[in-house]
A and B are shown apart, each in its own frame.
Chain A
């Protein structure tokens, strides 16, 4: 087998990926994960091949996805590697579907259904207000409710550029958006910093009419709301309830409704933590 094997680490879920492709594709794929090392063992969990207009993602010697472009092959490879890492994490962490963003005063979690605008709002806070996106999609919580970012790249979806034109200034190939594919934006490598500590949780309702509005949720309602976004909640409900109770005790839960993207950004960037 030619190419190179890297080990990507997503919140402790480690996956060895063999990339059988030229140097440009290897660099492109490697950049997607801030925490990666050259694997010490050659045996890989996944294999990604890219050569002359044809890409393939293989698992256990069997093709599980095929791409026709470098971008789509990298996207499918990222998806496969992240899915495998999350499978490995399931037994030892709660997987909360959330974005984690850190500002000058502390970190916040943005939680909401698919399409509620978590990624766009997280990126808007980073690009317009200097916050840092620590996780875009999944946050792993330990038994004490302490979060750890799953550092997969941000998925910029079609429609996001119209809301956030600043994305055009980043050195990204946005062409796949026209074909309906998301574009991946690697997270910036982060230094350890106390600002990351999660001090509030915001449940995002879909943007509707009216100004941006924040409503506090009590601990009970906040916990119940969060539980709906934990993908492995049902696998161990007692531990999940206890961990989430610790989260809502440390970080009050708010419901954010209405408002444009800019109004939501301003609301969060001027939010005063308790």
Chain B
């Protein structure tokens, strides 16, 4: 089954609570009373989901944050899209 296209400018739901930790981040969804633990990469992507960053911009900023450790651009974009798909599947993004 083909996944729906992601929003061009993903935006995090405004009613979620987020906390940075050294190895990523933790989200609390008060509606579902659920915690979501994010690894470092997903946490970076999450903090860019403000509705003003496009997916390509998020991927570029993620690559910049990794510096010399960054894999090739196509792989970075794939990882970012995978995180965003995951956020959307869990209902963490605003509907487009």
Contact = CB atoms under 8 A, between A and B. Distances in A.
Contact of A220 (B21, B30, B33): B21
B35 A219 contact: no
A248 B33 contact: no
Most buried by B among A224, A234, A248, A249: A224
B25 A220 contact: yes
A227 interface: yes
Instruction: Decide if the interface of chain B is mainly helix, strand, loop or mixed.
Output: strand
Name the prevailing secondary structure of the A interface residues: helix
Contacts of A248: 21
Interface stretch (A102-110, A157-165, A235-243): A235-243
Interface in A192-222: 218-221
Interface string B9-39: 0000000011111111110101001010111
Contacts, number: 48
Contact of B35 (A224, A238, A245, A249): A224
Contacts of B19: 223, 241-242, 244-245
Given A220-B37, A224-B35, A245 B20 contact: yes
Interface in A227-267: 227-228, 234, 237-238, 241-242, 244-245, 248-249
Interface of A: 218-221, 223-224, 227-228, 234, 237-238, 241-242, 244-245, 248-249
8 contacts: A219-B22, A219-B23, A220-B39, A223-B19, A223-B26, A224-B35, A227-B35, A245-B20
